[in-house]
A and B are shown apart, each in its own frame.
Chain A
């Protein structure tokens, strides 16, 4: 009898929520929640997310949801704990990836994770005019909070290096606090939340069409993937599927987005190792894809092309030829770059062995995407749990085991090639038929797991009786990648931080929400 089965057996006794699709949601009591935490300490289940909302029956009370996936990647389950008061037992003790999400729940709802080690505010910097904006918001005086950064003790003299929120490059804002011994990093701590725009609150009460636009702006570089996760959740909630042609067009856009971002990252990592030539060439290839996207789909980043029920644009034969030509050109161009990378020892000297992440840590944090696959953790939402049209296709998910900057580049290189092949196959075999299906307006709960270029996006959605968004929780892959960056930089030199950071390329906006 494995623990996996034990957890499933334990859950089976609790009521199943009928309108939750496509996976089960079960409502548990306090004792069961405690039991689950205990089981998680020794089981393989992946932690996927944790969020709060008001109870639907009693608007003055709250409930906590946690989503999990079992070790064999076959079952996803949402567990709900209705609360009488304003606290719940913390999950972060057994799944450290939950720590920042618990802090967010405390900031937005005022609900306390009992037993959590870290109770410092996260998104709330003391600069909003209200407390707990998603619960009983109370007006308050604006007094920016101080922040107790973690310390590092040593017999040797350590110094601190504060970086940000405004960084030197053209990137998003966030604060990094280094403790260093000379050039060697002893501890890195991130403080984020600077670009918090309150997107979760803004989504509430919106139509799914309006909310899909916001979902497409959670993280601009993943606009296709986030919009896709949102509309899949919305379609699941009302029990429809988008027409086949729309599903395939969505996949073409998703793969174009993946290739474009991987190209940019490949070039930018090399640039951070002072090899600027690679960035110039990679960005030229990326520009080709963005122009093609503009020509074919009408937007360089393909924002707002994926809509609830289908897609907003169709492609004709000429456009399909355009996509095929761009894919061919990028493949040829990228082959030259990957040859150049392999042939440049001075570059490899910087990337090989830098910023190593351990698979065990990736698992503990529930990390997915490039970061996890470079460290031997084979998860890809397109395969497991899988969604259309990928289920019908045979394609490779590349894996590396060393978990260093070099491996993360190798994963991106392999995925660029694989995704270009997928783009060609999807374009070639595009089914005919309608582009959209009408979305019925009624209540429902839906959930989706979508593989963006960074990794797995989990979106959970509740629609009210009018079909409006009652609650949406979009969980960017960066939630579980940022903490690993803190771990992987330890023992590296400060000068390698940009290299390590870029090789992760976590989203700020995606987690600041």
Chain B
């Protein structure tokens, strides 16, 4: 049997690795809310554009983790887009470095409304450990309006998932 067949058979036999989100009841309830509210506003899906505005790339690792089969964020109707033109949400990491401020602003302007901004991680919220330098604006709210803040250094994928689901809940 070829290695590819072996892997596929194993997947069939063992089932998916995707796990239920931490609190199953909460997630089912939240998932229900996605259905009800997002149907109206978002057509049951939330398209996210990630922007690094001066992070250490730790947050990016956890966003990648959120897309892995264990968390499988797409099952909630949340997916990542390559262009801000296709996005409902900007997921912004980093301190808002002065060198990235304009690019962040332009990305925001390129995103069609209605749109929401998530500040992911301590530095996106207020500069975190990079606060007070000549090169940083200490928080992305100096550049774009922020709707939801996810603290952590970096926030875990579960925390990020909760925040995105909560955002869906508040979209009404």
* Interface size class of chain A, counting residues whose CB lies under 8 Å from the partner chain: 35 or more
A194 & B130 in contact (Cβ 8 Å cutoff) = no
Contacting pair B101 A127 (CB below 8 A): yes
Chain B hits for A150, CB < 8 A: none
Judged by a CB distance under 8 angstroms, whether A286 is at the interface is yes
Q: Would you give the shortest CB distance from B145 to chain A, in whole angstroms?
A: 18
Q: A281 touching B50 by the CB < 8 A rule? A: no
A287 beta carbon closer than 8 Å to chain B: yes
The yes or no answer to A198 lying at the interface (CB within 8 A) is yes
Residues 194-227 of A at the B interface (beta carbon under 8 Å): 194-199, 201-202, 213-214, 217-221, 223
Contact with A along B146-166 (1 / 0, CB 8 A): 000000011010000000000
The 4 closest A-B pairs by CB, nearest first: A220-B58, A198-B133, A198-B135, A168-B82
A170/B65 in contact, CB under 8 A: no
Q: Do A283 and B58 contact each other (CB < 8 Å), given the known contacts A165-B100, A168-B82, A172-B52?
A: no
Residues of B within 8 A of A283 (CB): 64-65, 67-69
Quick check: is A414 within 8 A (CB to CB) of the other chain? no
The reply to whether the CB of A8 lies closer than 8 angstroms to some CB of chain B is no
Q: Which of A59-84 contact B (CB under 8 A)?
A: none
In contact, A193 and B154 (Cβ under 8 angstroms): no
Are A220 and B59 within 8 A (Cβ)? yes
Docked Cα-Cα span, A343 to B51, in Å, equals: 36
Q: Confirm or deny: A133 has a beta carbon within 8 angstroms of a beta carbon on chain B.
A: yes
Contacts of A201 in B (CB 8 A): 133-135
Q: A128–B135 contact, CB under 8 A?
A: yes
Contact between chains at A344 and B70 (CB < 8 Å): no
- Whether B2 lies near A343 (C-beta < 8 A) is yes
B56, A509: Cβ atoms closer than 8 Å: yes
Given A198-B136, A280-B69, verify A507-B57 contact (CB < 8 Å). yes
Chain A residues within an 8 Å CB radius of B136: 197-198
Q: Within 8 Å of chain A (Cβ to Cβ): is B26?
A: no
Is A340 in the interface zone, CB < 8 Å from B?
yes
Query: Does residue A230 face the partner (Cβ distance < 8 Å to B)?
Result: no
A169 / chain B contacts, CB cutoff of 8 Å: 82
Contact between chains at A284 and B97 (CB < 8 Å): no
Q: How far is the CB of A331 from chain B (nearest CB, A)?
A: 16
Interface of A: prevailing SS: loop
A42 at the interface (CB under 8 A from B): no
* Cβ 8 A contact of A173, one of B68, B70, B82, B103: B103
Nearest to A127 among chain B residues (CB) is B98
B55 touches A172 (CB 8 A): yes
User: A343 contacts which chain B residues (CB < 8 A)?
Assistant: 2-4
Which residue, A173, A202, A290, has most C-beta atoms of chain B within 10 A?
Answer: A173
Interface presence of A443 (CB below 8 A) = no
Flag whether B139 is at the interface (Cβ < 8 A).
Answer: no
Complex CA gap A37/B60 in Å reads 40
Q: Which of A173, A197, A199, A284 gathers most chain B CB within 10 Å?
A: A197
Taking the closest CB of chain A, its distance from the CB of B67, in whole angstroms, is 8
Instruction: Given A173-B103, A290-B65, A339-B3, answer yes or no on A197-B133 (Cβ-Cβ < 8 Å).
Output: yes
Residues A170 and B99 in contact, CB atoms below 8 Å apart: no
The answer for the CA separation of A221 and B58 in the assembled complex, in Å, is 6
In the complex formed, the residue of B with least CB distance to A164 is B103
Query: Which of A193, A196, A344 gathers the greatest number of chain B CB atoms within 10 Å?
Result: A196
Q: What mask results when residues 40 to 64 of chain B are scored 1 for a CB within 8 Å of chain A, else 0? A: 0000000000111111111111111
Q: Counting CB contacts under 8 A, is A495 at the interface? A: no
